[in-house]
Amino acid sequence: MPFRTMTTLATAALWILLGCTPKTMTLTLPRAAAAGEVVHLHLIAGALPRGARIVVRLPNGQVAGTATRYGGRTDQPAGEYIIPLPPEAIRNGKVKLRIDVEEDGTERAPKRGEVRKVELVYVPVT
């Protein structure tokens, strides 16, 4: 898959990925996080090979988190994940991310359907 950069339009911090997944993306926050909230990433994964994981990184290469199933059927979606984002991940109301799939010790671009949805969510915290 060619390297692509995509940016969300308007105010929706959401990607619904019907086709190939871009390796990098920019999500725009509709508003700043309020007091008592943090912004995290909500990622919905499709079917993944056993042991594979989706790795989410920030532009500086820092790993934000991963989506990897434990057990279950590899022919079924791997589920939904909340990936914590550090405060420095948000710059000017935007979050830039890079998404790879790690399988058998090597990284590759996500295949069609492996990443189904990516969005920023506001999580109430203490």
Say how many C-beta atoms besides its own lie within 10 A of residue 43's C-beta: 24
64-to-25, 86, 97 alpha-carbon distances in Å: 14, 8, 9
Q: Which of 41, 35, 29 is nearest to 91 (CA)?
A: 29
Tokens for 96, please give them.
Answer: 């830039």
Minimal distance in Å, beta carbon 34 to other proteins? Answer: 12
Q: Tell me if 59 contacts other proteins by CB under 8 A.
A: no
User: For the chain, what is the radius of gyration of the CA atoms?
Assistant: 14
Q: Tell me if 75 contacts other proteins by CB under 8 A.
A: yes
Looking at the Cβ atoms of 1 and 82, the one nearer to other proteins is: 82
Q: Tell me if 76 contacts other proteins by CB under 8 A.
A: yes
Minimal distance in Å, beta carbon 68 to other proteins? Answer: 5
By CB under 8 A, name the one of 70, 88, 104, 106 that touches other proteins: 70
Q: Tell me if 87 contacts other proteins by CB under 8 A.
A: no
Phi-psi region of 87 (alpha: psi -120 to 50; beta: other; left: phi over 0): alpha
Q: Tell me if 11 contacts other proteins by CB under 8 A.
A: no
Q: Which residues bind other proteins (CB under 8 A)?
A: 36, 38, 40, 42, 50-51, 53, 55, 62-63, 65-84, 86, 102, 121, 123-126
